[in-house]
A and B are shown apart, each in its own frame.
Chain A
Amino acid sequence: MAKRGSVSSGKKAGKKAGKAGKTTGKRTGKTAGKTIAKTTGKKDPGDGVVAAAVAAGAAGPEARPRGRRLRGPRLEPSSASAPGDDLRGLRGLRGLRDLRARLAPTELPRERQLELYRFMKLNRMVEERLGNLYRQGKVVGGLYSSRGQEATSVGSAYALEPQDFMGPLIRNLGSMLVRGVQPREVMMQYMAKGGSPTGGKDGNTHFGDLRRGLVAPISMLGALIPVMAGVALAGKMQGKNLVALTYIGDGGTSTGDFHEGLNLAAVLQVPLVVIAEHNGYAYSTPTARQMRIPDIAIRAAAYGIPGEIVDGNDVLAVHAVTRRAVERARAGGGPSLIEAKTFRMKGHAEHDDAGYVPPELFESWRRRDPIERFERHLLAGGLATAEELARITAALDAELVAEMDQALASPMPPPERALEGVYAPAPAAEGAEGAKVAER
């Protein structure tokens, strides 16, 4: 059985986040079991939650899900403006939040907010360094970027406690960094080094470590949802008081496993939180080619679970919404579906120039850059000076130089390793089987 061990920066983050979360938890406790939107809706207009929850947790005729909108812009498909209705799922945020927009209120103290900032910057800077390595020909496979989505990854992962589990996808590097993954681990993964967490057997962010509560994804989208439902189920059976969190993209919600996994999780009422990152495109396919609904969160109604929409480029809003869902799950309230409206600011992978995305879309989302928005929030609120933020960046820069040197120094794996580890070795007592660990 896996034991949660120490995590370097992630553990620290988790502990501190936990402290901060206690106050949040109390507040959430009162509203447990109610529609989360109600609490959200009463918040001040700066709240980053842009629309109503679309489904209540409870079953029964009174809990009939409604597409109720509490405030903010209409999220229904708009008939206005080109290009067709391909982007209707994103219109809800059009013109709403730009760099000047206030972020959601938060109970996180200054130090925790600066830590969020640090993780978002780290997320982006690691990916920029990976881009350098890619162009130097040192990344042996594809390179995937989460540029523009840092707030969704970091804000949601930051809402977890050390005992919780997470199943990230390819664009959740930020979530992994929050859980204590070191930049060199990811760099070695991309460069297929022998010292990488998978020893060169798999690449990119496809690695896990149960000690840090990380489950490795597979490329087949949707598959992680049932698996993380099982992690949550096991946690419940083992009395571990843990919550499982995982991610899915707008395209991934079209899979059968998305439905099967959420439905099973709902029926079994396991502590699972699914963050649907609505980033506009699944490779080149816009959301309108995935679904006939404007908001992924609507789908929560089909499972009788709470669904909520959040501004995915507002790290404080993402954190607050996730925190509520996590606390509800921990209290026995079952799974939630959170839709984070955000945008993929690069192509599917580094080779893809995303020529299929209208330039004006990139431009409008560039004005909502999650890191710049958070910087403005920190500066405007007197939480940090420009010099302090610059010092954080400089420190990360120096850290990444060292991380990259370490990653580059790792040798490639010995070829024979290709044959190792197909089977988990049997316990010593069953030695007869142990002799057959690798068939042929």
Chain B
Amino acid sequence: MSVVTYLEAIRQAMWEEMERDPRVFLLGQDVGTYGGPFRVTAGMLERFGPERVIDTPISESAMVGAAIGAAMMGMLPIVEMQFIDFISCAFNQIINFAGPNHYRWGQKVPLVIRGPAGGNVHGSAFHSQNPESYFQHTPGLKIVAPGTAADARGLLKAAIRDPNPVLFFEHKYLYRRIKEELPAGDGVVPIGQARLARAGRDLSVITYGAMLHLALEAADRLAAEGIDLEILDLRTVKPLDEEAIIATVRKTNKVIVLTEEQLTGSVAGEVTARIAERGFAWLDAPVMRLCCPDTPVPYSPTLEEFYLPNVEKLVERVRELAGY
């Protein structure tokens, strides 16, 4: 079995689903002839034709709106945001049309919106965002943010097969930086299930996306100091796997929630609140959050490195929490 990148895993998931089901189609900017700026859709136009790989005008709202219409008609559209930051241009269609549709009148909207999220590539304010918290508030949406290649492939397949609108936030920092052997077969990963990325006894880090790798690195370093980290990879941001969250709280009694988002109104805040509501009795110390400061994502490497969580910051917070 060959080793593939996170990016290739995403491409494979779309490719395999398009081979498997003629209802699946792709629309977005520069996804066809050009194959996408990151080459995620390279070769798809040639294989599946312009009917199923549709280059659109620069119209995020119309892209998503048209996908909603097509989804209601029984198609399974995948909308690519060239950078996930531009999803805000389709905000109304997502939060007012797609999200509430099934609740309002019983009509499902099986739709995937995917695109490159995240920073650490010097993309500045509009090519680095992690917009999940804007959408976690909206009923009817599902939000997925894989941290491994196997999860990227397996969760994207699950997203395409899901009868609901799923936002699929792939981290561009991971695109070519991580490589894995993918499981044989379909390898579908169910939406809504967290994964224990590292079992440990002293302290839990709850995270997802690119931050997973930061946590794994910190765990290696801390192991040398005799601190045994447990790492829970949420994988799905909405609906949260509350059982897995509470299980790790009960096990280690100390938690850091690590996410690459601005702190205020973050997914980390929601995870923390649920721990406070359901897991307080098992806590030995306050839940800590390690997120980004409440600023736009800055451009200069010195600024961005200061802005983003990193291994040193995490190790420091772990030591602080371990001291309770």
User: Which residues of A line the B interface, CB within 8 A?
Assistant: 1-2, 165, 197-198, 201-202, 206-210, 215-216, 218-220, 223, 225-235, 237-238, 244, 256-257, 260-261, 263-264, 267-268, 421-427, 430, 432-433, 436, 439-440
Contacts and interface: CB of A to CB of B under 8 A. Distances in A.
A268 B57 CA distance: 10
B232 interface: no
Interface stretch (B33-41, B161-169, B203-211, B295-303): B161-169
B61 A234 contact: no
B324 interface: no
A426 B140 contact: no
Given A223-B97, A440-B242, 7 more contacts: A209-B105, A229-B65, A235-B73, A268-B54, A422-B140, A433-B162, A436-B239
Contacts of A440: 239, 242
Among B52, B63, B67, B107, max chain A CB count under 10 A is at B107
A216 B51 CA distance: 27
Nearest to B191: A433
Nearest to B74: A1
B192 A216 contact: no
A223 B65 contact: yes
B69 A230 contact: yes
Interface string B50-65: 0110101101011111
B81 to A, nearest CB: 15
B163 A425 contact: yes
A227 B97 contact: yes
Contacts of B67: 230
A190 B19 CA distance: 46
26 contacts: A1-B74, A202-B104, A207-B104, A207-B105, A210-B72, A215-B69, A216-B105, A219-B96, A223-B97, A227-B68, A227-B97, A230-B66, A230-B71, A230-B72, A230-B77, A237-B25, A238-B73, A257-B92, A263-B57, A263-B62, A264-B66, A421-B103, A424-B110, A425-B163, A430-B158, A433-B192
A422 B102 contact: yes
B74 A422 contact: no
Contact of B65 (A206, A209, A227, A436): A227
Contact of B62 (A257, A421, A433): A257
A219 B59 CA distance: 20
B105 A432 contact: no
Contact of A260 (B54, B62, B107, B158): B62
A231 B71 CA distance: 8
Residues of B contacting A: mostly: mixed
A430 B193 CA distance: 13
B289 interface: no
Given A220-B92, A223-B92, A261 B103 contact: no
A85 to B, nearest CB: 31
A225 B97 CA distance: 12
A2 B96 contact: no
Nearest to A236: B51
Contact of A230 (B70, B140, B164): B70
Nearest to A418: B103
Contacts of B56: 264, 267-268
Contact of A257 (B65, B75, B242): B65
A165 B52 CA distance: 22
Contacts of A1: 73-74
B105 A206 contact: yes
B70 A208 contact: no
B279 interface: no
Residue of A197, A215, A257, A260 with most partner-chain B CB within 10 A? A260
B57 A237 contact: no
Contacts of A226: 59, 61-66, 68-69, 93
B74 A2 contact: yes
B106 interface: yes
Interface of B: 25, 51-52, 54, 56-57, 59, 61-75, 77, 92-93, 96-97, 101-110, 139-140, 142, 158, 161-164, 190-193, 238-240, 242
A231 B72 contact: yes
B70 A233 contact: yes
B69 A264 contact: no
Contacts of A233: 66, 69-70
Contacts of A228: 69
Given A234-B70, A234-B75, A432-B190, A216 B62 contact: no
**Nearest 7 CB-CB pairs, A to B?**
A230-B69, A226-B65, A1-B74, A230-B66, A234-B73, A424-B108, A260-B62
B221 to A, nearest CB: 35
A175 to B, nearest CB: 17
Nearest to A268: B54
A396 to B, nearest CB: 27
A129 B139 CA distance: 35
Scoring B71, B73, B161 by chain A CB atoms within 10 A of each residue's CB, the highest score goes to B73
A223 B96 contact: yes
A162 to B, nearest CB: 16
Nearest to B23: A1
A231 B105 contact: no
A208 B75 CA distance: 18
A209 B105 CA distance: 8
B102 A223 contact: no
A390 B163 CA distance: 50
B66 A227 contact: yes
Contacts of A220: 92, 96
B62 A264 contact: yes
A1 B163 CA distance: 11
A425 B104 CA distance: 15
B97 A218 contact: yes
B184 to A, nearest CB: 19
Given A210-B107, A237-B25, A426-B162, A261 B102 contact: no
A423 B92 contact: no
B102 A423 contact: yes
- Among B56, B66, B104, B239, the one with the most A-chain Cβ atoms within 10 Å of its Cβ is B66
A35 to B, nearest CB: 25
A238 B75 contact: yes
A234 B102 CA distance: 19
A229 B66 contact: yes
B190 A261 contact: no
- B69, B96, B140, B158: which has the most chain A beta carbons within 10 Å? B69
Contacts of B106: 198, 421
Contacts of A421: 102-103, 106
B59 A263 contact: yes
B65 A424 contact: no
A220 to B, nearest CB: 5
Contacts of B72: 2, 210, 215, 227, 230-231, 234
A86 to B, nearest CB: 29
